[in-house]
Amino acid sequence: MTVTEPLPIPDGMREVTQLEFFRLLAADPRDIMPNVEHEDHHLWLVRPTRAVWGWSAPGWKNPGAYLTIYAVRETP
């Protein structure tokens, strides 16, 4: 499968590097887990409230279909 352009980042989020994404994730004391209900991207949700913390693509179905991109909410 050929890699295509990245998916658009959702409104209210800013793009970060993979390193920054996981650094921010590790620094946040809340329980944050990826949600895999979407095939082409993951929402990273705070448990148990399910507030959106971040976003990453590609998702689980076609991991090579999109360029890898990470984003976090502009206001935590």
Cis peptide bond upstream of 58, omega within 30? yes
- Report the number of distinct structural domains present in the chain: 1
Note whether residue 24 is domain-resident. yes
The pLDDT value recorded for residue 53 is 96
Note whether residue 53 is domain-resident. yes
Note whether residue 3 is domain-resident. no
Note whether residue 37 is domain-resident. yes
The pLDDT value recorded for residue 59 is 72
Note whether residue 21 is domain-resident. yes
The pLDDT value recorded for residue 70 is 93
The pTM of this model reads 0.81
Q: Kindly calculate the radius of gyration of the chain based on its CA atoms and give it in whole angstroms.
A: 12
The pLDDT value recorded for residue 60 is 66
Q: What is the DSSP letter of 8?
A: P
How confident is the prediction along the chain (76 residues), in pLDDT tens digits per residue?
Answer: 455 667 788 999 999 999 999 999 999 999 999 998 888 889 999 999 999 999 998 876 666 656 788 999 987 5
Note whether residue 5 is domain-resident. no
